[in-house]
Structure 1
Amino acid sequence: MFGPDEIYFSRHDGATFIQFLQLYSGPVATAGGILLYIAQAVSDGTEKEYQDEVEECLATAINIQDKDIPEGFALSMEPCEGEDNIMMVKLVEKTDENTEANDV
């Protein structure tokens, strides 16, 4: 692929790491691509599982039925300031913007 046409190394000492990469650049790049694909697939699956667990936890911890929400109000869930993993659930007055956001 890339690199010099000829590589010189000692038969006694063998090739250095860089020379090894130059000698077998194709297989090394292929193995790297496969590892990247596997890592991405595992990451996506783990993230989906985490999101499902969070959603299930929220559903059991915050069991608010539609009938429990006063007329003219809606639930809002926003991250707390300075805290990425903590969400604040509160009642807000229903507006056209809230209705459109919930319809999406």
Structure 2
Amino acid sequence: MTRPFGPLRPPKALGGRIRWLFLGFGLFNLAAVVPRSLAGHAAPPLARAGAVAAAIVLGLYWLQRYRRQTFPPWAIPLEGAAVGIVAVGLHDWLGTIGRSRACRSAACTAPGGTYSPSR
């Protein structure tokens, strides 16, 4: 009897478990792109559709490469372009690429705050 998600089960080795955990985090974040882009109205519909398509393609690519246990270095710019398409489609560049949502507190954005540009 074969297990349905055999290649996607957590491996026994620590390094493999860390890679598996980061794959899960990445896929969770990509899955959150779909409802955010469909519910948002700040970006044009074509940009939102591109964000959904880029998230789906990137997620499938990550799953395929994780199962093969190879991530070629030449694909890094393509992954960056896909993340850029997602950022444009969500119309939230800081939240997608630059600054995390946790850093939108007064300590991060207030003039003279811990992480403000004036420091």
Looking at secondary structure, tell me which structure has more helix per residue: 2
Question: Larger RCO: Structure 1 or Structure 2 (Cα < 8 Å, ≥ 6 residues apart)?
Answer: 2
Tell me if TM exceeds 0.5: no
> Highest CA radius of gyration, 1 or 2?
1
Looking at secondary structure, tell me which structure has more strand per residue: 1
Q: TM-score, normalised by structure 1?
A: 0.30
